[in-house]
Chain A
Amino acid sequence: MIFVEARSETHWYHEWVAVFVALSLTVVTASILLAVMGLEPVSSLQRIFIRPLNSVYGVSELVAKATPLITIGVALALGFRAGVWNIGAEGQLVMGGLCGGAVALGFWGIDGFWVMPLVLLGGSLGGLLWGAIPAFLKVRFNANEILVSLMLTYVAILLLSVMVHGPLRDPDGFNFPESRLLHEAATLPKLFPAGRGHFGFIFAIFFALLGTWIVKRWHLGFEMRVTGLSLNAARFAGYSRDRTIWTALLIGGAVSGFAGVVEVTGNIGQLVPNISPSYGFTAIIVAFLARLHPMAVIPAGLLVALSYLAGEAAQLSLGIPAASTQVFQGLLLFFLLGTSLLVNYRVRFGRAT
């Protein structure tokens, strides 16, 4: 028989053993699925996971996809540590892209070093506002922040759609639901000679460093962690639950909004009805893959970004629908959650004691 029993002591590496086991199980399951679909697993996996990285273009695309995932993943890791479930990062990202894009279009054709910071600020404020709504409703009315932030995601996507079909539509664009192309002063520079990797990645790395610093060195980080671990302990220490909720959702909103405006100004270059392939939801997986450590969000974000590239490669070279990306990501999250048991418990084979 197999037993699980609580570990008498836990070591830091237990977390990463659990992550490694989860990744291995995901690859094994993916291989089985490929085999079921009549494909040869090893060469198929090599084709969709390794080959996309064999060129500057591929690496650049990876960086472009990892940028929003890392940026949002850091903010979510902080919030989840505090036990605040901001599930609406996708909506905050969309609002950031919309507001930042609107600022950029407002200053369209105007050059100046101040345009870009203003655009980024506009995006962050848009996300901040969208994060503030569930925070306010939770603190004031005790409305469930998970459901409110999620409902707001649908509202944000519809709002973006209204705007690109109406006020923000390109006047010379033959009625296509797209804005003008942003001018150069409101566009982030590219990082590579090929592909879409852009300067936003530098911001993402900066956020990961800042997040680590907040968790390790700031009292705020400690306060949020205590609140997440035990509400009673936090109350004894005089920490306010309301303040933790506000902090987590405002940081989450502003950073997700920033990721949104960076996506619009760095990657897409204009406002379109659909600015994110669910980066805001996938960043939740990134945060868990990183075991909520802001620094580990960088490799986790790159790895999950690879799953997007792999999905595209699978569609092109194996003829599998692009939705296989979501299946892979869902499996990964299942295994990550299932194996987190290994951190605090150990599996023992043998007879009961």
Chain B
Amino acid sequence: MDYGLLSSILHAVLVASTPLVFAGLGALIQERAGVLNLGIEGLMIVGALAGFATALSGFPILISIIAAALAGALLASIFALLVLRLYANPVATGLALTLFGLGLSALAGAQYVGQAAPQVDAWNIPILSHLPIAGHALFSHDPLVYLSISLAVLMWWFITKSRAGLILRAVGENHSAAHALGFSVTRIRFLAIITGGALAGIGGSYLTLVQTPLFVEGMTAGRGWIALALVVFASWRPLRVIVGAYLFGSVSIIQLHGQALGVSVASQWLSMLPYLVTIGALVIIAGRGNFSHKAPGSLGVTFRESK
């Protein structure tokens, strides 16, 4: 096999996976706090537009990413208000967030369609990036790829090792007990939702700033939902989100490069792969019934402070 092709396919896998890592971690932090947010898709596309619009206005990449994170956090705060304060049904509210985000981005983004974002420079890691094959594939990426991996490690440390992470897990596993211990369930969940919204926004901005780099209506194409499935696949563990995301990234690259690799079927069949693989992953993981992989105990249950 041509090593140059292998190297560029691996490179493409990492690029395709990175938005899923961010969005998956964003969903995970919320779910560990007991919040089921089905609005990830809407948060991603709003972040995608916010980052893109900021970059087009001439701001540097860092500011664009911060803008995407802020947009995601702001939209997520609507979800937080409805679910935490007004006790709205979280499933329906998440859907509303997705519908609203898709509509809002299409409405506000119409003026940006057809423009291209400025190129993001790659960070070539010294020495390592000169390795054959792996150099280009793994160590010659934009900073966000490295950030996504660092974030997963950081989140692993936060959730399993830190005191604040322990409190977050307590709120997610049993919110009544956490409340009885004197922790503010609502405040902790609010912070988790805002953080998750910001991460989903960054994940979305990766699509428009690095991956494509264009804005098209509805361009997230279900990635927010795949990110939610990824959390189940990862059994609610941050480091496994990376593994899962790279697996899904590979599938979507097979889809893109299928024709080049000599697969001669209608492109639509290959486009179905990520969705079918997601269903397969959900079945395999859920079917195991292993207790160590159980969802947080209070996931998706509304917390009402009784007086």
Q: CB within 8 Å of B: which residues of A?
A: 85, 87, 137, 140-144, 146-148, 150-152, 154-155, 158-159, 161-162, 165-166, 281, 284-285, 288, 320-321, 323-331, 333-334, 337-338, 340-341, 345
Contact = CB atoms under 8 A, between A and B. Distances in A.
B106 interface: yes
B202 interface: no
B103 A155 contact: no
B186 to A, nearest CB: 13
Contacts of B232: 144, 147
B103 A327 contact: yes
B229 A324 contact: no
A161 B270 CA distance: 12
B103 A325 contact: yes
Contacts of B275: 151-152, 154-155
| Interface of chain B: mostly helix, strand, loop or mixed | helix
Contact of B96 (A87, A333, A341): A333
Interface string B162-206: 000000000000000000000000000000000000000000000
A341 B86 CA distance: 6
29 contacts: A85-B91, A87-B38, A140-B287, A143-B282, A143-B287, A144-B286, A148-B282, A151-B275, A151-B276, A151-B278, A152-B275, A154-B221, A154-B275, A158-B271, A159-B272, A162-B266, A165-B266, A284-B95, A323-B103, A326-B100, A326-B106, A327-B100, A333-B96, A333-B100, A334-B78, A337-B82, A337-B92, A340-B89, A341-B88
A87 B91 CA distance: 10
Contacts of B279: 137, 143, 147-148, 151-152
B102 interface: yes
Contacts of A166: 266
A323 B92 contact: no
Given A137-B279, A151-B225, A337 B103 contact: no
A119 to B, nearest CB: 24
B103 A324 contact: yes
Contacts, number: 133
Nearest to A5: B307
Given A142-B289, A330-B101, 17 more contacts: A85-B91, A137-B282, A141-B286, A141-B287, A142-B286, A152-B279, A154-B275, A162-B268, A323-B110, A329-B99, A330-B96, A334-B93, A337-B89, A338-B86, A338-B88, A340-B88, A341-B87
Interface in B51-110: 78, 81-82, 86-89, 91-93, 95-97, 99-104, 106-107, 110
Nearest to A162: B268
B96 A337 contact: yes
A143 B283 contact: yes
Nearest to B104: A327
A326 B99 contact: yes
Nearest to A339: B86
Interface residues of B, number: 44
Interface string B214-230: 00010001100100110
Contacts of B100: 326-327, 330-331, 333-334
Contact of B282 (A85, A147, A162, A333): A147
Nearest to B307: A5
B269 interface: yes
**Most chain A Cβ neighbours within 10 Å, of B99, B232, B283:** B99
A330 B78 contact: no
A99 to B, nearest CB: 17
B102 A326 contact: yes
A56 B289 CA distance: 58
Contacts of A154: 221-222, 272, 275
Interface of B: 38, 78, 81-82, 86-89, 91-93, 95-97, 99-104, 106-107, 110, 217, 221-222, 225, 228-229, 232, 266, 268-269, 271-272, 275-276, 278-279, 282-283, 286-287, 289
A252 to B, nearest CB: 15
A158 B272 contact: yes
B278 A147 contact: yes
B229 A151 contact: yes
Contacts of A337: 82, 86, 88-89, 92-93, 96
B287 A142 contact: yes
Contacts of B99: 281, 285, 326, 329-330, 333
B99 to A, nearest CB: 4
Contacts of B228: 147
**Most chain B Cβ neighbours within 10 Å, of A87, A151, A152, A333:** A151
A130 to B, nearest CB: 12
B83 to A, nearest CB: 9
B217 A87 contact: no
A321 B106 contact: yes
Nearest to B266: A162
A90 to B, nearest CB: 12
B283 A155 contact: no
A155 B280 CA distance: 13
A326 B283 contact: no
A140 B283 CA distance: 9
A288 B92 contact: yes
Contacts of A325: 103
Contact of B107 (A155, A158, A324, A345): A324
Contacts of A327: 100, 103-104, 107
Contacts of A331: 100
Contacts of A141: 283, 286-287
Nearest to A282: B99
A151 B278 CA distance: 8
Contacts of B81: 338
A330 B103 contact: yes
B57 to A, nearest CB: 19
Contacts of A87: 38, 95
